[in-house]
Amino acid sequence: MAQQHSCGCCSPTSAAPAAGATTPETTETTCYCPIDGVLGTVSKKYAMRIVAILGAAGPTRYGELQDRLKSASSATLSSHLDELADAELIERRSFDEVPPRVEYSLTPRGRELETRLQPLLEWASDETS
């Protein structure tokens, strides 16, 4: 998962080998590209939308999410929720009652993401032609 490479977009001097140049292969610098981390998760088709919904509406049930993301099947939705929960961007809260109820909400970290996502989303809807 935490793939390492030198993409040059995050670390400027990626071409230069580490000190000593003991490694002739010039394999990888210690550049970790953010895109491979959180941003990889975020680029999932519905990930941003889920974050946006949870950010705007607060704790939301599974069914309502599915309702809002009409084109997403339950399988797809589940996998997205899993991944977001794994990344600790959202939190899953399951209530012990019948019928079952599960609510998803943003973690503090997810809220930070949402903050940074907003301008992007707003701009995107403006630029939409």
Q: Which of residues 33-52 bind a second copy (CB under 8 A)?
A: 33-35, 37-39, 42-43, 45, 48-50, 52
Q: Which of 81, 89, 90, 113 lies at the binding interface for DNA (CB under 7 A)?
A: 81
Which one, 13 or 94, has the nearer CB to a second copy? 13
Nearer to DNA, 82 or 115 (CB): 82
Residue 85 interaction partner, one of a second copy, DNA, none, beta carbon < 5-8 Å per kind: none
Q: Is 62 in the site for DNA (CB under 7 A)?
A: yes
Shortest Cβ distance from residue 93 to a second copy (Å)?
A: 20
Report whether 101 contacts 113 (CB < 8 A): no
Check: CB of residue 51 under 8 Å from CB of residue 110: yes
Q: Does 27 bind DNA (CB under 7 A)?
A: no
Site residue total, a second copy (CB under 8 A): 48
Residue 95 DSSP SS3? strand
DSSP string, 6-62: --SSSSTTTTSPPTT---TT----SPPPGGGTHHHHHTSTTHHHHHHHHHHH-SEEH
* Residue 17 token pair: 């080998």
